[in-house]
Amino acid sequence: MHSFPAPALARVEEMSQAAAADPARVIAFQGAPGCNGHRAALEYDPACLPLPCFSFEDALDAVKDGTAGRAIIPIENSQHGRVADIHFLLPESGLFITGEHFVPITYALMALSDGPFAAAYSHPQALGQTRRYLRARGIVPMAYADTAGAAAYVAEMGDPRACAVAPHIAAELYGLKIVAEGIEDSADNTTRFVVLARDPLPAAALTGRTAMTTFVFEVKNIPAALYKALGGFATNGVNMTKLESYQKGASFAATTFYADIVGAPGDPAVDRALEELAFHCKELRVLGTYPQELARG
The alpha carbon of 116 is separated from its chain's Cα centroid by a whole number of angstroms, namely 32
DSSP classification of residue 114? S
Instruction: For residue 191, indicate whether it is catalytic.
Output: yes
Specify the amino acid at residue 66.
G
CA dist., res. 291 & res. 7, Å (int)? 38
CA dist., res. 218 & res. 248, Å (int)? 10
CB 121, CB 144: distance < 8 Å: yes
Distances in Å between the Cα of 281 and the Cα atoms of 8, 222, 229, 252 are 46, 10, 7, 17
Task: Give the torsion sign (CA, 176, 179, 184, 189).
Answer: positive
CA dist., res. 194 & res. 213, Å (int)? 12
Distances in Å between the Cα of 228 and the Cα atoms of 166, 219, 233, 237, 257 are 44, 10, 10, 15, 14
Query: Among residues 67, 147, 191, 213, which one is catalytic?
Result: 191
**Number of neighbouring beta carbons within 10 Å of residue 47:** 6
Phi/psi region, residue 54 (left: phi>0; alpha: psi -120 to 50; beta: rest), is: alpha
Specify the amino acid at residue 176.
L
Query: Among residues 56, 96, 117, 193, which one is catalytic?
Result: 193
Smallest Cα–Cα separation from 113: which of 143, 154, 149? Answer: 154
The residues that are catalytic are 191, 193
